[in-house]
Amino acid sequence: MKLFATELKGKTVMTEDGQILGVLVDFIMDTKTGKIQSMLVSPAENVEPRLFKTDPEGRLVLSFKTMKAVKDVIVTQLAD
């Protein structure tokens, strides 16, 4: 299935075990390869941002490689 990045923005991002991490707001791309490297997620209220890598605006920086599925929500795997 192919989707435009703009179709993914605003979707809820959650872990495989159902923990809601927040809402997808943007992507970080490698300008040399054109590949998406990371997802920028506005954290949910119950998420502690200090437990994650964040950008200067406090958004969670999650690896795009860990994205597992996209339907009504985006499911991602957290790195150990």
CA distance 31 to 19: 31
Could you tell me the residue range of the domain that residue 56 belongs to?
A: 5-76
Asked whether the predicted pLDDT for residue 77 surpasses 90, the reply is: no
Residue 11's domain is classified under what CATH number? 2.30.30.240
Per residue in 14-73, pLDDT tens?
A: 998 889 999 999 999 999 998 889 999 999 999 998 899 999 999 999 998 888 877 778
Is pLDDT larger for residue 2 or for residue 76? 76
Q: Give the per-residue pLDDT at 14.
A: 93
- Confidence tier at 75 by pLDDT (50, 70, 90): confident
Is the separation of the CB atoms in 74 and 18 below 8 Å?
no
Q: Is 78 left (phi over 0), alpha (psi -120 to 50) or beta?
A: beta
CA distance 21 to 50: 13
Instruction: Provide the number of structural domains found in the chain.
Output: 1
pTM over 0.85: no
